[in-house]
Amino acid sequence: NTIEFAGALHATVVKQVRLKNPGKNTLAYNAAVVGRDAAGFSFPKGDTVSIPAMRQGFINVKFTVRFLHPAEAVLILVSNKVYGIDGATLVFSLKSEVKNIDPLGKIKCRSPCYEL
């Protein structure tokens, strides 16, 4: 699965990843981002999530678009044992896309176009 972070240059985009637990035991996951542009991604509400039995949990991933080239990284969710129960490791591809560039300001100047 791919999670896309699309926005204007220098915009901050937060995506919420929903995790479902269909089992009868609580699951816990530790999140990590690895890859070429991993430093640009973070977890504003922490890198761990606990999911009660038959419920769902959420983890937020934040990215600030700093460059015009698409950023790429991988989100890995590794299960912690809770009461001896281990969940499957989950992997997501993270990609960014610059949708537009808004100017920070405008400068007026006068200059001759041509001089001999």
> Other C-beta atoms within 10 Å of 22: how many?
10
In DSSP terms, 97 is beta-bridged to: 6
List pLDDT tens digits, range 12-66.
999 999 999 888 888 899 999 999 999 999 999 999 999 998 999 999 999 998 8
Whole-structure pTM value: 0.81
DSSP string for 12-29: EEEEEEEEE--SSS-EEE
Rg (alpha carbons) of the chain, rounded to whole number:
21
Tokens of 114: 């041509």
Position 15 scores a pLDDT of 96
- What CATH number was assigned to the domain covering residues 2-100? 2.60.40.10
Chain-centroid distance, C-alpha 10 = 15
> Other C-beta atoms within 10 Å of 5: how many?
23
Q: Are 2 and 92 in contact (CB under 8 A)?
A: yes
